[in-house]
Amino acid sequence: MELILASQSPRRKQLLEEQGYKADVHPAEIAETISTTMPLDEALERLALDKARAVQPAFPDRTILAADTVVVYGGEILGKPSDDREACDYLMRLSGETHQVKTGVCILTPELEITFTDTTDVHFRVLEDQEILEYTDSGRALDKAGAYGIQDSGFVDRINGSWSNVVGLPMEKVEEVLDYLCRKGCATAV
């Protein structure tokens, strides 16, 4: 199946392609602001829907996938850090603690809008100050919600939920929806 991925995340593209989907990247050019006037899951789904709708005019006959991932700790959203100092702060706060990773997803076809949110509980081992500094100095922290990537940090002790959700796209649920769309004949297949 061929999809339009309304995201510039190389990790989302890789997850899709590892499962046999062709993902053409066309990032949505919208403000990625999460509404605080509605529950977080609903706000993430709304942002994903807005991203998908933003690219739909260029691809009216295609299936579009958009997503937005955040880390939640102590009731606070930890998005992508703005600099190394904020990345260090995030990682120090998450050290030895459990947090949630939430991804809002939209799969948009010419006929349907399907949105959902997936949540994974993630427990970090206790981190040493030096390894936090080495990780943030590597530049890998700045483009990731919560300042880490589960696939490259070694910080995670255990998870409860979808590993791929922590990477940026809950593939189990995505595949379930795409399989449903294929059975219904709503998605563009190649």
Active-site residue numbers? 68
Is residue 155 within 8 A of residue 127, CB to CB? The reply is: yes
Q: Which residues of 125-151 are buried (b: 16+ CB within 10 A; e: fewer)?
A: eebeeeebeebbeeeebeebbbbbbbb
Measure the CA–CA gap between 98 and 87, rounded to whole angstroms.
17
| ∠ CA 72-40-114, rounded to 5° | 120
